[in-house]
Amino acid sequence: GQQVMQIPQYQHVQEGEDFTTYCNSSTTLSNIQWYKQRPGGHPVFLIQLVKSGEVKKQKRLTFQFGEAKKNSSLHITATQTTDVGTYFCAANTGTASKLTFGTGTRLQVTL
């Protein structure tokens, strides 16, 4: 079945440093979604990218969808302790209703 790989698995940064997580698929994706899960919480939808080469920003977060629609990235500028959590990418596979999640990147931010 389709797999969505995500790297790195874990990153520890100092507050104020930047952070990037990457998502890669072996097949072309129709779209990609990003979620954040705080420790002890549940995934919270952040954004969906649909178009080839699309770039979207949400305050300090920048999301990109690759030109070939096989990869995506999430970049956080000047991390804050509130950014702590695990970031997942997810892609619709098969029908629109089934999401295949990446393995997630756990972000730890210290002062």
**Site of interaction with another protein (CB under 8 A):** 1, 33, 35, 41-45, 88, 90, 92, 94-104
Nearest-approach distance from CB 93 to another protein, in angstroms:
8
Q: Identify which of residues 91 and 109 has a Cβ nearer to another protein in the complex.
A: 91
Nearest-approach distance from CB 78 to another protein, in angstroms:
27
Q: Identify which of residues 43 and 85 has a Cβ nearer to another protein in the complex.
A: 43
Strand partners, 57: 62
* Angle at CA of residue 47, ends 107 and 37, nearest 5°: 35
Nearest-approach distance from CB 94 to another protein, in angstroms:
7
Q: Identify which of residues 11 and 100 has a Cβ nearer to another protein in the complex.
A: 100
Q: Is there a contact between 111 and 98 (Cβ–Cβ < 8 Å)?
A: no
Cβ neighbourhood burial of 111 (10 Å; 0-12, 13-18, 19+)? exposed
